Structure 1
């Protein structure tokens, strides 16, 4: 401290003279003194350096301030006012290191900066080890695509209910964000279902493949509910005659994809569902509810899992709609594309879940 104190008496004269080069040199020397002895300084020593440097550091150039910010960013006893001053600078090479990791920036300062500064500051902030719900509310509201993706992928970030709602809404148009949000450990099953409901099929399948095994069951359950397994009324169809017919066909060795295709093309719903049940191992009641749902996904999943050709899957899609309500060619092409992209392993996992659920 003796060296630092010896510099301080002459500061008034240096500041009055206003020589930029001399001010910058003094700032550099005092900052270096602090950095070399920071581990041994008491809080009152740190406050003294803080008081002196906040007036001197602005006279240094951008490279010098950026270097100082980088070195201060890892110190638990960095001068708090100086750090806040540097973190508010527009130049991201200066503010960035402190916003990413400095442990001495107050929550209020972070929120203030998040509300006022640009995307570079928000992006740097999104990498902090911990982010509070109040802070992520601002980041998600103001951040661009890259900022929000980075924040959602930060395991140390916490989100309010409103924050999660905003994330899920934005994820509906951003598959990468869907994957980031869907892999979060703190995402509830309810929010997971909401996230999946707004995503396209290929993103759902990708999410299933990348999450932890413990979360795959929750995804399968959500997809099943979205597809119509849960909450549907019981079917009034009589499947008994179809069961007898399919059993006889099976005994004669005639139960195959060609037979299923024939049933579907003839719009013989009960026979088609019963044949699918025999070929997939999923109960008729479950398949009936799936087929009666609002989405084509269950048909694609079943078809891919048991190795059906697109022609048969297409016939089953048309069967669901009925002869008077055929989907448009554009819709059919979109469904075909989804079927082609669907991975067999993913489809098999979902079908296995249906089988396990019906057994339970």
Structure 2
């Protein structure tokens, strides 16, 4: 039998009586239906509820939801997410539920979600929880900091595409760092309207000229004079650097220049992209692949490329300094020593490079 409930505006309505009925009901289906009706009536009450009503509602609803399982808990979460000023313990319980079907409505739709609860869920939740958080209408910097740190490629892509997401300087720097080997993420970042000049400086070395021009156009549309000017200067300098890099490669091939000296200078100047182009030429590797290794998170792979090219320790040291300066991800790691680098077998490193070449040829053929 369907439950009938009087309006809260009706003088005969007594919230305590209906909450008592709700607490006493044994059937999960009927509990959920009565919960829904009372929640709707409570939310649309013409007058603000008095302290007693708030206490009763929060007390009974919290205890009831704790007893619900499966689809009934999903319905409860969806119903309550449309309300305001729910007790924090109840919000946390639903939003952090291991079943993402339960957690999603509360994370996505609860407008007055306390920031500390979102931060805690971002720290401990699954990647599914992080995806829902990343897609919220608004995501504040303390939350995005954690989501960027823990999120997989899908999560950070959703976050980067979300114009309602706000980033701290450190969070944006880490997000840009994750884009080093992800062209899709690079494109999403280029289209953001909130990139600072610092973020642009970190992003530019890893994107191609097409994306750089798009970034410049976006800055113009956003009337960001500082970023637009910087980009225009960068594009002009990029053209000059490309010409210089071609000249370096030609000089190395003729034997007029030493590859190690050229690379050490490029690393010291912060020109990682140009250095990758030169190293790729020396090893006969694809430039994008080489850049991805040098800029990627696997330092051992980068050291193997350098050992395969028989580069001296001062060249490697200049690379490590540039790598640390470009990304916060490496600031807390112990850098390798000269002795550790020299223990790498150059012959084994060269075999790794030959294998990489075979894979590149095979991929190109397919």
TM-score norm. by structure 1 comes to 0.58
Taking a change above 3 Å as real, the CA distance of residues 223 and 72 of structure 1, as seen in their structure-2 partners, is: farther
The question of 1:5 aligning with 2:16 is answered: yes
Instruction: Report if aligned partners of 1:4, 1:30 keep a CA contact under 8 Å in 2.
Output: no
Aligned-residue offset at 1:211: 6.7
Q: Return the match for 1:39 from 44, 55, 60.
A: 44
CA distance in 1: counterparts of 2:286 and 2:42, whole angstroms: 71
**1:243 alignment counterpart:** none
Could you tell which deviates more after superposition, 129-138 or 193-202? 193-202
CA distance in 1, matches of 2:64, 2:85: 19
Q: Aligned residue for 1:291? A: 243
Answer yes or no: is the 8 Å Cα contact 2:65–2:76 preserved in 1.
no
The counterpart of 2:113, out of the listed 105, 119, 127, is 105
> Compared with structure 1, are the counterparts of its residues 79 and 223 closer, same or farther at alpha carbon in structure 2 (3 Å cutoff)?
same
Match of 2:151 in 1: 143
Give the Cα separation in 2 of the matches to 1:64 and 1:140: 33
Q: How many angstroms apart in 2 are the aligned matches of 1:30 and 1:332?
A: 62
Contact 1:57 1:65 in 2 (8 A): yes
In 1: Cα distance, 2:242 partner to 2:117 partner: 52
CA deviation after TM superposition for structure 1 residue 290, in Å:
5.9
Q: Determine which structure has more spread, i.e. the larger CA radius of gyration.
A: 1
- How far does the alpha carbon of each residue in 1:240-282 deviate from its partner, in whole angstroms, 9 at most, with x for none? xxxxxxxxxxxxxxxxxxxxxxxxxxxxxxxxxxxxxxxxxxx
Matched ranges for 1:13-162 at <5 A:
14=24, 19=26, 21=27, 25-40=30-45, 41-42=48-49, 44=51, 45-78=53-86, 80-162=88-170
Q: 1:31 to 1:4 in 2, by over 3 A?
A: farther
C-alpha contact 2:148 2:174 (8 A) present in aligned 1? yes
| Rounded Cα–Cα distance in structure 1 between residues aligned with 2:283 and 2:124 | 49
Provide the C-alpha distance between the structure 2 equivalents of 1:171 and 1:27, rounded to a whole number of angstroms. 45
Give the CA RMSD over aligned residues. Answer: 3.4
Superimposed CA distance per residue, residues 315-334 of structure 1 (whole angstroms, 9 cap, x where no aligned partner):
x8976767447946946897
Query: How far is the alpha carbon of 1:156 from its aligned partner?
Result: 2.0
C-alpha distance in 2 between matches for 1:31 and 1:172: 48
Q: State the Cα distance separating 1:110 from its structure 2 match.
A: 0.8
Distance in 2 (CA, whole Å) between partners of 1:199 and 1:6 is: 65
Structure 2 stretches lacking a partner, 5+ long: 1-7, 258-277, 290-366
Assess, with a 3 A threshold, how the Cα gap between structure 1 residues 210 and 120 changes in structure 2: closer, same or farther: same
In 2: Cα distance, 1:69 partner to 1:98 partner: 6
Superposed, which structure 2 residues align to 1:154-303 within 5 Å?
154-201=162-209, 203-204=211-212, 213=221, 214=223, 218-225=230-237, 227=238, 291-292=243-244, 294=245
* Separation in 2, partners of 1:105, 1:36: 21
Counterpart CA distance in 1 for 2:166 and 2:191 is: 14
Deviation, 1:151, is: 1.1
Task: Figure out how many residues of one structure are paired with residues of the other and give that number.
Answer: 248
Equivalent pair of 1:183/1:211 in contact (CA under 8 Å): no
What is the DSSP-based 3-state SS (H/G/I as helix, E as strand, rest coil) of the residue aligned with 1:122? helix
Under a length normalisation based on structure 2, what TM-score does the superposition of the two structures give? 0.57
Equivalent-residue separation in structure 2 for 1:72 and 1:217 (angstroms): 49
Does the C-alpha gap of structure 1 residues 37 and 223 become closer, same or farther in structure 2, counting only changes over 3 Å?
Answer: same
Counterpart contact for 2:186–2:207, Cα < 8 Å: yes
Counterpart Cα distance in 2 of 1:3 and 1:143? 47
Equivalent-residue separation in structure 2 for 1:53 and 1:290 (angstroms):
66
